[in-house]
Structure 1
Amino acid sequence: MPYAQKRTPPIRKGTNAAPPLNVADLAGVVYSSGKVFDGLRTGRLDTENFLRSGSLEGITSKSDLALLEDLRDVSQFIIDNREAPLNSAFVRAVNAQITRSGPMNPGHYRTAEQHIGVSTQYGRHEPQPTSDTALQRIIDRAMSKPDPREQALELFVQIAKAQPFEDGNKRTALFVANSVLIRAPKLEMLVVPVDENSPDKAARFNDLLARAYVSGEHEGVKDMLRTEGFTEHASARDRKKAARMNRYPKLRDMTLNAHALSGDEHEDPQLG
């Protein structure tokens, strides 16, 4: 039976409910997971433009397009269903969104006969196949952590390590982790550490994740994510900028008038 999607209800003023989101707000998650997990060649800005408007500028391969379409669909799914129970059915439904660049049987657990695993420099990681019961235990342990950040970290590491599905396991784990964060009032997301000018960062992350897989050294990759993985999503930046503008209405009006007279569409650096 297909997972029943729930549309995000409107946010009432004066509550601590999570803010409205769209898929472009999760551009950092899409870009970093695509880049590190699947070799995405599309740049960060072109990725954000694709999510924001559907623009194909800068997307130079069908494989990149298929990957971005899948990650866009996963983003939309966790936004639409952020009021739904976070359980094993939800995790399977996240994987089921990866239909173009992922498993042959999206949303279905791998079997022992398939011998699906991960080869690392520390050895091969091929855990036992997962069931709904085993996956629910992972979720329950993660959600017993004291705050959304720690819950997200535990979900990411443990689901990725469990390798429940035929493919797309790290992507699934990262977006499930972000499904916790987008339910929280704080405006942040968990991204994979990546730097276009320093490939060592992603290499170090992958090394630490491999250690978690093979040796059970979970804290190394969690510590890296604690310091380099949490970041504001786009709506948080927009809200802060609007708040600064509202605090200084005269400066705001002067800036907007100056831009209108000059035709300058760039932001004032003091307000951006």
Structure 2
Amino acid sequence: MFEDKYNLTLEQNIFLAKKLIVENIYYSARLEGCNVTFPDTKTILDGVSVANLKMSDVEVILNLRDAWKYLIDNIEKTFDLDFACKINYFVARNESLEWGVLRNGNVSISGVDYVPSIPNKQDVIDDINEILSIENVTERAIRYFLWGMRNQLFWDGNKRTSILCANKILISEGKGILSIPEKHIREFNIRLTEFYNTNEYSKIDSFIYDNCIHGLVLKQEQAREGEEELEI
């Protein structure tokens, strides 16, 4: 269905991830409804306290920092359910009933009729393996991102966990970065609500492909000089 938009080396894609890490953490925090600005996010990540911010918002940012660090430090590990659980361990630390383990009770999603079932471990493993068998890497990452959010595998942090897992899939193969720019969050949430209710990936996957996959463009003349250009 999709073609990969970028073809980078692992080193180039890690460089891209590190270059955009503050922005990606900010976008993920905004996607969760955190009342932070980009300067707030950068200040927090620099280790400086910011007045008048809720501690819960600060914790979201610091947890995302640690999850991204784990992802990059372990980029060559195989992606599987254990990896996803480890990402959630960092993302949802001190935020939910349990973190880093599959949810074992019922949850609901605000604003939608769909109610996700309690995840069964073997079914989850089978679903992940099916997604990982998708030939195109970008399509594979988008599918995991959407599937992970809709199935609500964990008690909390499912959007953040799913986007990080999608980035593990992309970065490992040099296919760019998935993030939801602030200007697209409203449209993304509208489409996500419809996807939750219908389970129709076509309601949202092309939107993500067109607006939320970012990469590094190497121009020929720049490549000769060892220079790189970000495409955001």
The TM tier, using the shorter chain, reads: 0.7 to 0.9
1:89 Cα deviation after fit: 0.8
2:228 matches 1:246: no
Greater relative contact order, per chain length (Cα 8 Å cut-off, separation 6+) = 2
Give 5+ residue unaligned stretches, structure 1: 1-14, 196-200, 249-272
Percent identical among aligned pairs is 23
1:192 Cα deviation after fit: 1.6
| RMSD between superposed Cα atoms in Å | 2.8
Asked if 1 retains the 8 angstrom alpha-carbon contact of 2:171 and 2:177, the reply is: yes
CA shift digits 1:119-148 (9 cap, x unpaired)? 32xx43222211332222222222222222
Partner SS for 2:25:
helix
Match of 1:115 in 2: 106
Q: 1:101 and 1:222, CA in 2 relative to 1: closer, same or farther beyond 3 A?
A: farther
Letter in 1 for 2:27: S
Q: 1:135 and 1:247, CA in 2 relative to 1: closer, same or farther beyond 3 A?
A: closer
Match of 1:189 in 2: 177
Q: 2: distance between equivalents of 1:175 and 1:92?
A: 11
CA shift digits 1:11-38 (9 cap, x unpaired)? xxxx94343446553233311111012x
Asked if 1 retains the 8 angstrom alpha-carbon contact of 2:102 and 2:121, the reply is: no
Q: Which has the larger radius of gyration?
A: 1
Match of 1:166 in 2: 155
Partner SS for 2:194:
helix
Q: 1:247 and 1:149, CA in 2 relative to 1: closer, same or farther beyond 3 A?
A: closer
TM-score by length of 2: 0.81
**Comparing 167-176 and 207-216, the one that deviates more:** 207-216
Q: 2: distance between equivalents of 1:243 and 1:50?
A: 34
1:69 Cα deviation after fit: 0.4
1:1-272 matches, within 5 Å, as: 16-19=9-12, 20-21=14-15, 23=18, 25-37=20-32, 39-51=33-45, 53-56=46-49, 60-100=53-93, 102-111=95-104, 114-120=105-111, 123-186=112-175, 188-195=176-183, 201-232=184-215, 236=216, 243=222, 246=225
TM-score by length of 1: 0.70
Partner SS for 1:182:
helix
1:50 Cα deviation after fit: 4.0
Q: 1: distance between equivalents of 2:68 and 2:158?
A: 15
1:218 Cα deviation after fit: 1.3
